[in-house]
Structure 1
Amino acid sequence: MKSIAFFNNKGGVGKTTLLCNLAASLAKVHNKKVLVIDADPQCNASAYLLPEEQLQSILMDEEHYSVDAFYEPIRRGVGYPKSIPTIVKSERFSVDLIVGDPKLSIREDLLATDWAATRNGDPRGFQTTYAFKELVSRFNNYDFVLIDIGPSLGALNRSVLLATDFFVMPLSVDIFSMMAVENIIKSLTSWKRALEDAIERHYKEEEYYFEIDNKKVQWDLNFAGYVMQQYRAKKKEGVRQAVGAFERIIEKQKLELNELSNFFNISPELTDLGEVPTLSSVVPLSQQAHAPIFDLGAKDGVVGAHYTRVSEAAEFFHKISGKLIERLSND
């Protein structure tokens, strides 16, 4: 099983659209068993993958066991729960889903407080910080666990990123997306240094390593790569080239991405997973139908030029999912 968080410090880069459509491509085209965990308190992935009536029924069901509920016994100091959050099926996307919970944002305080305890080598701190890793470790029956998280560098997202094998970064060509990469590098550097110091301190004080799934915790996160939203371009001798200010942003962005790749000791050439075209005309249809863009048809409101966009989406998403599988198999 490979766990992958989809993350960028900047919002509005198509993160949830990318995650859900890649999840469907992995399942439908590559026959992979996929679980999506919605760890974004805004719950956009849940709203995309499930019809409104089904999602509302789940959230109102008193028997529903959420990601937030998984943290409750940890908060009370009684350890990890035996139960796992409720798993439901997204029929159109052909993936399983753990529905998001807006209350998960409240756990930010718990995770922030216990991160300080983690840095002091406190076992309680490690237990809280690695709760999400404990959760993910219980899904080895899947090929891929894809995790949607919000655009922040807070305690919740730190806990998720420490729990995963890889992260994918959706990007757009703009100054804010470029600055977000710089912020991420700084945060990852700080987190890694603090974690390694904390593990050493914990071992000296407790004389054992904290373990999840019988494996000692350590810095395991890797960079799977980035997916770029297509930018405005011109063609010169049949080659697509950026125009105006985009050229300067792209050059600076490449330097930041190279630095991110270097942080993970990865060749920058391996991290370019591809581009996604502008699909604004069919994304709302996809959201309304709760279906992958590449599976939309007449019954979903597709007419005329929409079919071209649907065909383009199939080409791009399937190519990216293929490159992602290749990238992870070589790591």
Structure 2
Amino acid sequence: MSEGKHNGKVISFINMKGGVGKTTLTKEIGFRLANSLNYKVLLIDIDPQINLTQSIFKRFGFAQSKDLANKSNIEENSDNNLKITEASIQNVLEGNISLSNPTDLDKAIFNIPNTNLSIIPGEFGLEFLTRNLNSSNLENGIYNFIDDNNLKDQFDYILIDCPPTYSSYTIAALKPSNYYVVPVKPEAYSMLGVDMLEKVVDETKKTNKVYFKDKDLKNLGIIITNVKAKEKEKPGILNLINDIENSRILKENGIRVFKNHFLHNSSLQSDMSYLIDTSNAEKYSKPNLVKLTEEFVSYTREDTK
């Protein structure tokens, strides 16, 4: 593991449209950064669907409770070996209420043994569990937790998996972020979610100026997802991709499109514990992830804010 201060970047993976590969990109880029590139990486799951948490926990054999583990089929038949962690995004958000009783790191961050990867796990039913928190507590929770614990000095990358809807959780993710990445599938009306997102980001920056006084919040770029390697040259797909790359919304907002698309891989849908970086997908997926992650890293190094 790398030592010393890391000058970490906080990056939200977000789109106002669901089903675009947001969680998969967060997991796959985050794991490659930690596993093969030796960066210290913290994943934060603030999507109430907790798919990122379930995937990471199933891969490494952990859970937040035996009940949830069994529902997720994690070590379903080996309760004696089940490893439970109390770490949770709920503790981060609730710990923001009291300055005199902040959340302990081990109740928020779970460090996966023998890796450079850590996670603040999502919480199933988060909307219900945090119903008594006011919007200020929710929206400031992650920012304050990162700042209070100097997490940017401890991690190279802090990647946040956001919900696909506008809510206090969206604001909570954007406030501490230096960048946001927008996954987009090549389909009709795909840019509507991007247009709405840009308006959300503008409004967030205008109404929370103090949080962006010493840092900017920049769109790192659009990543076109779910492109099938054998179909990427077909006229229909090419036209859809061309429509995205030449979209008025992108031109008006100066938003780039990543040169590398994220290729479709059926194993990502069929196996929750699957990770491209440790797979044998040498023909398409692994080389694709290598190039995409290199491009991702290069864009985060364009400035030092």
TM-score range, shorter chain: 0.7 to 0.9
Residue in 2 that maps onto 1:261: 254
The Cα of 1:286 is off from its aligned counterpart by: 4.3
Residues 280-307 of structure 1, C-alpha deviation per residue, up to 9 Å, x if partnerless?
Answer: 2x214542xx2412312xxxxxxxxxx5
> Please, which of 268, 271, 276 is the counterpart of residue 283 of structure 1?
268
Residue in 2 that maps onto 1:118: none
Secondary structure of the structure 2 residue equivalent to 1:18: helix
Residue in 2 that maps onto 1:293: 276
Q: 2-side partners of 1:43 and 1:170: how far apart?
A: 18
Secondary structure of the structure 2 residue equivalent to 1:276: coil
- Conservation of the 8 A alpha-carbon contact between 1:108 and 1:154: no
**Would the alpha carbon gap of residues 314 and 42 (structure 1) be closer, same or farther in structure 2, given more than 3 Å must change?**
same
Residue in 2 that maps onto 1:319: 291
> Please, which of 156, 162, 178 is the counterpart of residue 191 of structure 2?
178
- Conservation of the 8 A alpha-carbon contact between 1:231 and 1:242: no
**Would the alpha carbon gap of residues 135 and 174 (structure 1) be closer, same or farther in structure 2, given more than 3 Å must change?**
same
**Would the alpha carbon gap of residues 109 and 86 (structure 1) be closer, same or farther in structure 2, given more than 3 Å must change?**
closer
Residues 123-152 of structure 1, C-alpha deviation per residue, up to 9 Å, x if partnerless?
Answer: xxxx76332112223212111111111101
1:136 paired to 2:146: yes
Secondary structure of the structure 2 residue equivalent to 1:275: coil
> Please, which of 216, 219, 222 is the counterpart of residue 223 of structure 1?
219
Residue type matched to 1:25 in 2?
R
Using structure 2 for the length normalisation, give the TM-score.
0.76
The Cα of 1:225 is off from its aligned counterpart by: 1.5
- Conservation of the 8 A alpha-carbon contact between 1:108 and 1:155: no
- Count of aligned pairs between the two proteins: 275
Q: 2-side partners of 1:250 and 1:108: how far apart?
A: 43
1:191 paired to 2:204: yes
Residue in 2 that maps onto 1:251: 243
Q: 2-side partners of 1:142 and 1:184: how far apart?
A: 27
Q: Name structure 1 gaps, 5 residues minimum.
A: 115-126, 200-210, 263-267, 297-306
The Cα of 1:242 is off from its aligned counterpart by: 5.4
Using structure 1 for the length normalisation, give the TM-score.
0.71
Q: 2-side partners of 1:192 and 1:228: how far apart?
A: 25
Q: 1-side partners of 2:84 and 2:115: how far apart?
A: 26
**Would the alpha carbon gap of residues 284 and 103 (structure 1) be closer, same or farther in structure 2, given more than 3 Å must change?**
closer
**Would the alpha carbon gap of residues 276 and 83 (structure 1) be closer, same or farther in structure 2, given more than 3 Å must change?**
same
Residue in 2 that maps onto 1:300: none
Residue type matched to 2:146 in 1?
V
Share of identical aligned residues, percent? 23
More helix by share: 1
Residue in 2 that maps onto 1:23: 30
Q: Name structure 2 gaps, 5 residues minimum.
A: 1-7, 70-82
Secondary structure of the structure 2 residue equivalent to 1:320: helix
